[in-house]
Structure 1
Amino acid sequence: MKHARIKFNNQIYAVTVNEDLSVNMPDGSILKEKEVQWLSPSEGNMFALGLNFADHATELAFAAPTEPLVFIKSKGSYIGHNGHSWRPDNIHYMHYECELAVVIGKTAKNVSKENAWEYVRGFTLCNDYAIRDYLENYYRPNLRVKNRDSMTAVGPFIVDTQDVQDPMNLSMKTWVNGELRQSGNTKDMIFDVPYLIEYLSGFMTLQEGDMIATGCPKGTSDVVAGDEIIIEIEHIGKLRNYMLSEHEYFEHRNK
């Protein structure tokens, strides 16, 4: 089953989603994909992985890590399906990142790899935009790189764990204006999902609704205002959003 959060007539609803992306409202009515505003399907903390695919590390000219490189993204950076992100003025390079996001289903502390899947509610997609201008000499994604308003697209929905047979073997793709730019597979993660849950829960408590964005494969490229970006992960779905200029974004937000 697919679970989403949407806004309609200024009210927020938890809904289930059909194959055509229509949504089932609590009153029994059905609304089409474009009739609602899609929100991030979860509002928990996001623990995001840097360089969790060796080929992506290589394209950024960094060595593959020997321990997870993890940073936190705040919910103020989240946007939903069909939402608008933006490219700040006076930067040289901003790229997308197609990532599998794992949604935690219950409080997790000191969880072993063997039991890790018991703590996963399901999966969603994350397009973790990065402004490469502000990367430091090693891969340190400070707030200006990764945590700006509306620069983390999440959604459209959460797919239940039991509906994804092998989450560690899913194809991953990104299209920009219909052109395939990025392609990979979750099997190529350096640190897989059970390892990450064991690692993170070993020194902190993961809460229900928290998400782990597990990194992207090689194939990142610059995006500019006017671009349509779609990421897709096999058996999870597609997540679309649109890139605006800085002026267009704040004009749109202030309407």
Structure 2
Amino acid sequence: MKLLRVGAKGAEKPAILDAEGVARDLSGVVTDIGGETLTPEGLARIRAVDIGVLPKLDGNQRIGPCVANVGKFICVGLNYADHAAETGAAIPSEPILFMKATSAIIGPNDDVVIPKNSIKPDWEVELGVVIGRQARYVEEKDALEHVAGYCVVNDLSERHFQTERGGQWVKGKSADTFGPIGPWLVTRDEVADPQNLGMWLEVDGHRYQDGSTRTMIFGVAHLVSYISHFMSLQPGDIITTGTPPGVGMGIKPEPVWLKAGNVMRLGVEGLGEQRQNVKAWQG
């Protein structure tokens, strides 16, 4: 299933795409796409519905974040061998974890705003993993059973804040609008192998990132298991799993940073595409 949320900010309706790609209103079936809806029981309720009888939604409406009320937004750093190489970093021996503020979350096509005092804003196309069943100390062989589905994430970063202002990475990752997710949450049964998905990102039509989840250092199952040994994972939590090479900070001979007026397009195979206009901070 391809689940999404359609409508104005704060007034999104839960929806599902039919076989023709038309969004159908799920608000008579579930309250929203998040939390209990993403459990095996919640997804079973949606699967039991005849999609063809659900009301059609206006295809011109805004698409909101594909998951509502995200509890934790967990990020994995330097998780692609080729990306680690372009940054000059060593291959991690264990996953590098950090958090992204949930207030950064926006819809897949909403405007991205460069934060005040930003010097080095950057892009990162990533595979997002949405949890559907509580995970605590799970074994890797069982980890994917705790996944509801997958989505596209643009893990936007302010590199100056992230690496030159001291402390942890979270403050370079958490500006408002720095977490576009969606357009869809694609349920796990429709993704045959999360470790074999092409992914790409363009700025103003120039393709900077063109990679694959095949080059992940730590795969999805390992990450879910690993993280569950440090914190419980709850339905609706998101893990964004790292980015392939081609980020702005890695461009040679000089880095390329986002600026107002840029247009980003990005996607992950089978999970849809995002498009964001980049705007300047208006204080």
With normalisation by structure 1, the TM-score equals: 0.89
Tell me if the contact between 1:40 and 1:153 (Cα under 8 Å) persists in the aligned partners: no
Counterpart of 1:52 (choices 73, 79, 88) is 79
CA RMSD of aligned residues (A): 2.2
| 1:16-46: CA deviation from partner (whole Å, max 9, x where unpaired) | 1247764212474323443234234242311
Q: Which amino acid aligns with 1:38?
A: G
Counterpart of 1:87 (choices 109, 114, 121) is 114
SS of 2:126's partner is: strand
Counterpart of 1:3? 3
**Greater strand share, 1 or 2?**
1
| 1:211-251: CA deviation from partner (whole Å, max 9, x where unpaired) | 1100001101221111111111111111222210112xx6x
In structure 2, distance between residues paired with 1:10 and 1:94: 27
SS of 1:92's partner is: coil
Structure 1: segments with no counterpart, 5+ residues: 251-255
In structure 2, distance between residues paired with 1:153 and 1:141: 21
Sequence identity percentage? 32
Counterpart of 1:240? 275
Q: Trace 1:170-209 onto structure 2 (pairs within 5 A).
A: 170-209=197-236
SS of 1:49's partner is: strand
In structure 2, distance between residues paired with 1:8 and 1:29: 18
Change (3 A) 1:2 1:92: same
| 1:69-98: CA deviation from partner (whole Å, max 9, x where unpaired) | 111122211011210111134433211100
2:149 pairs with 1:114: no
Counterpart of 1:133 (choices 151, 155, 160) is 160
Aligned residues: 248
C-alpha deviation, 1:54, in angstroms = 1.7
In structure 1, distance between residues paired with 2:164 and 2:96: 14
With normalisation by structure 2, the TM-score equals: 0.81
In structure 1, distance between residues paired with 2:9 and 2:139: 44
C-alpha deviation, 1:138, in angstroms = 11
Structure 2: segments with no counterpart, 5+ residues: 29-53, 249-256
